[in-house]
Chain A
Amino acid sequence: EAGVAQSPRYKIIEKRQSVAFWCNPISGHATLYWYQQILGQGPKLLIQFQNNGVVDDSQLPKDRFSAERLKGVDSTLKIQPAKLEDSAVYLCASSLTPNNSPLHFGNGTRLTVT
């Protein structure tokens, strides 16, 4: 099966600029996740979708981050405006079921904010 696709692979922006990341989950996976992984740390859940509805976004900095999954398949994560501390790898993952199911990760987008 094709894996989780993410783009771009790398992005460098200046602080206060905007950036968007795209994710295409594994076909048939209704649950989609965006994680932030800061260097040397474990992945931190930003937002979780079930189809096109949000299941959890409790750790999403909503003043600057937004995400959508309009047709229940692809998803975009946006940061506007970016801060230096947003430098991280943004991982998209999908799973077959929303609970107690292994996550399949994409290769991630490495964001550097200067």
Chain B
Amino acid sequence: GENVEQHPSTLSVQEGDSAVIKCTYSDSASNYFPWYKQELGKRPQLIIDIRSNVGEKKDQRIAVTLNKTAKHFSLHITETQPEDSAVYFCAASIGTGGFKTIFGAGTRLFVKA
């Protein structure tokens, strides 16, 4: 079925440490994997995305890795800062042609100063 599993549900790190959030998906045809950040009371906003023809993508302190064989992908945030505190959602396009985007349940990240 259509499913995106996300772990952990809550993550607490010390400022400057790294944070890793992992997701698995069920549809082997999925080929687009965006990550969204949602601050309290605000809209989800895209922070990085990766397509299936790439194994890793980096943008400053944020990186995403993709393992299509194992059907999992991960978000890595290095040198975390208090302003990184938010809920992070992974998502995957599903179905032939990737016409539908399914979200994970979210990870609440706390960065302690």
Interface residues of A, Cβ cutoff 8 Å to B:
33, 35, 40-45, 48, 55-56, 91, 98-108
| 15 residue pairs bridging A and B, Cβ less than 8 Å apart | A42-B89, A42-B106, A44-B103, A45-B100, A45-B102, A48-B100, A56-B100, A99-B93, A100-B31, A100-B32, A100-B93, A100-B98, A103-B44, A103-B46, A105-B45
Decide: B99 and A98 in contact? CB cutoff 8 A: yes
- Interface class of chain A by DSSP: loop
Docked complex Cα distance between A99 and B42 (Å) = 25
Docked complex Cα distance between A99 and B97 (Å) = 6
Chain B residues near A48: list those with CB within 8 A: 99-100
What residue in chain A is nearest B103 (Cβ atoms)? A42
Decide: A102 and B46 in contact? CB cutoff 8 A: yes
Docked complex Cα distance between A99 and B96 (Å) = 9
Docked complex Cα distance between A42 and B36 (Å) = 10
Given contacts A100-B31, A105-B44, A108-B43, contact A43 B98 (CB under 8 A): no
Chain A residues near B36: list those with CB within 8 A: 103
Chain B residues near A105: list those with CB within 8 A: 43-45
Decide: A42 and B105 in contact? CB cutoff 8 A: yes
Chain A residues near B4: list those with CB within 8 A: 42
Docked complex Cα distance between A41 and B99 (Å) = 22
**Minimal beta-carbon separation of B19 from chain A (angstroms):** 18
Of A55, A91, A101, which contacts B44 at CB under 8 A? A91
Which of B93, B97, B100 is packed against the most chain A CB atoms within 10 Å?
Answer: B100
Chain A residues near B46: list those with CB within 8 A: 102-104
Chain A residues near B98: list those with CB within 8 A: 99-100
**Minimal beta-carbon separation of A28 from chain B (angstroms):** 17
Of A45, A91, A104, which contacts B101 at CB under 8 A? A45
Say yes or no for B51: interface residue by CB 8 A criterion: yes
**Minimal beta-carbon separation of A42 from chain B (angstroms):** 4
What residue in chain B is nearest A99 (Cβ atoms)? B98
Chain A residues near B45: list those with CB within 8 A: 105
Chain A residues near B43: list those with CB within 8 A: 91, 105-108
